[in-house]
Amino acid sequence: MQGRMNATLLVVLTALCFRLVLAGGSGLGIDESYMAAASRHFALSYFDHPLASWWLELASRSLFGSAAPIVVRLPFVALSGLSSWLLYLVTKRLFGQKAGFWAVVGFSIAPVFSLAFGSWVLPDGPLNAALLAFLYALIRALGLPDARPAPRWWLAAGLFAGLAMLSKYNAALVLVGAALGLLLDPAGRRELRQPWPWVGVALALALFLPVIIWNAQHHWASFGYQGGRATGLRLRPLMPLTVWGGEALYVLPWLWAPMVWLLVRGLAAGPAKRVSWLLAWAAIIPVLLFAFVGLWSRTHILFHWAAPGYLMLFPLLGDWATRRSPRLLRMVAGLSGALLGLAALTIVALVQFGLPPALALSFKPGKSPMLQAVDWTGLGRQLPPGIDAVAAQRWFDAGKIGYGLLRDGVDLPVTVFGDKPHQFAFTTPPRSLLGKTILIIGMPGGGTETWNHFAPDFASFKPGPVLTVTDHGSFLLAIPTFIGVDLKRLP
């Protein structure tokens, strides 16, 4: 028994080491740079997601006095280790230590969970930890698999449900699914007649109150943005298959296929099999919803949106693995882990040493994949004097530029003059820049287009310096700029 726990700890620590190497050895991606650049202060909530991930990276920057990648990513790496151990505790309680070990192995070799959510500044890291803590508290409250119910655990379930909702809105899909599973289970309905579950619900809602207040103060901007992703009408009959295929690649096809089978089997077994029934219901809404929204929505469905559903299936996967060939499992897990580790080390090596010269020269300026993998540092010393703020025309350009300036130690407001400013509209509202001198980022489009669009908004408008992004001596991108003096009206 102790040997199995030690083996699990070894898997958790090994995965953590690779995540730390990736977190410290690579630059922030587009979404990460955006979050770091747009979160200049603590707030009750934020435009894209609730407060948890924003507060975590802000707190880490404040604590260490740095905005280096390893600093802003460190809380998310730490939470990945916590998530692994919570998954072990959940699966061990439901199915035993051996199943817990294989659940953690599966979690550690699934790219989207292990590397992306485990190393990057994304809301999914805190979401995973909170959902697994909620699941553990829920099974303790219900007495699953064969113990007496412990009603006071409903308070912990409510606490962690609230923390999950403070991490990412799609936590609600898992929580609603779990609630439906309980309502459709006669034994679960008996538990819901007690006051404790409803006290837990009240606690969760109280924790979520800051997000509601922020939205009420900002014209329900975040709720409207997230809800609007399901709107539009464009019939795409094959999109569910595309979405599920993408999710399979993110999780790993040889993990995804048994997970889906176990989901179907758990629902088919009915509430008589309380554990598989509850886990299947907790998973089903995210797994189905985004695939079918893709049938009609014009929004580009991102494959990681359904990840919370698959997270709930790892305990079933661990139990399933205990009845498979140990030799085959070790071979598949070892090969998958080796490939994942090699991918992480390759990314780090390319960022630290640059692309091989022949390969670097094969990409036209602005087309190199390294633009996403490296931080745009060095821009600070290229800025002209007398600038009060920088304004990009797209949120992702503002994110990369803003984070590059943070790394350069330049404390300059960054915003977006465009129709999709995201959090920049609240961090640095364009209205706050009236009368200021602003460096306008000229991409996308040509200089004439930028001139015609923005020149009428300023007392004077002139070409600025061309900012350059380089990597180990290789030229990656030229950023045209314009200097607008005395902003007279909002663009």
Report the distance separating Cα 484 and Cα 437, nearest Å: 6
Q: What pLDDT is recorded for position 147?
A: 92
Q: What pLDDT is recorded for position 364?
A: 85
Report the distance separating Cα 105 and Cα 462, nearest Å: 58
Segment (H or E) for 263: helix 253-269
pLDDT in tens, 454-472: 999 999 999 999 999 999 9
Q: What pLDDT is recorded for position 38?
A: 96
Please give the domain boundaries of the chain with CATH numbers for all domains.
2-338 (no CATH), 370-487 (3.40.190)
Segment (H or E) for 414: strand 414-416
Predicted confidence band at 28 (pLDDT cuts at 50, 70, 90)?
very high
For residues 163 and 156, is the Cβ–Cβ distance under 8 A?
no
Q: What pLDDT is recorded for position 207?
A: 98
Report the distance separating Cα 153 and Cα 352, nearest Å: 47
Q: What pLDDT is recorded for position 293?
A: 84
3-state helix, strand, coil in the chain (%, to 5): 65, 5, 30
Report the distance separating Cα 440 and Cα 416, nearest Å: 9
Residue 116: is its pLDDT beyond 70? yes
Q: What is the pTM of this model?
A: 0.96
pLDDT in tens, 336-384: 999 999 999 999 999 999 988 888 888 888 889 999 999 999 999 999 9
> Within 110-238, where are the H helices?
111, 117-119, 124-142, 153-165, 171-183, 186-192, 196-217, 221-227
Q: What pLDDT is recorded for position 233?
A: 66
Segment (H or E) for 289: helix 274-293
Report the distance separating Cα 457 and Cα 434, nearest Å: 10
Q: Say which amino acid occupies 154.
A: W
Q: For 230-262, b where at least 16 C-beta lie within 10 A, e where not — what string?
A: eeeeeeeeebbeebbebbbebbbeebbebbbeb
> Within 391-446, where are the H helices?
395-407, 424-427
Q: What pLDDT is recorded for position 418?
A: 92
What mean pLDDT comes out for the span 431-450?
92
Report the distance separating Cα 194 and Cα 202, nearest Å: 14
Chain mean pLDDT for the chain: 95
pLDDT in tens, 151-197: 999 999 999 999 999 999 999 999 999 999 999 999 999 999 999 99
Cα→Cα distances 316→309, 446, 455, 467, Å: 12, 54, 60, 52
Residue 121: is its pLDDT beyond 80? yes
In the DSSP assignment, the letter for residue 428 is S
pLDDT in tens, 212-269: 999 999 999 999 998 876 666 667 788 889 999 999 999 999 999 999 999 999 999 9
Q: With pLDDT > 90 as the criterion, what percentage of the chain qualifies?
A: 87
Q: What pLDDT is recorded for position 436?
A: 97
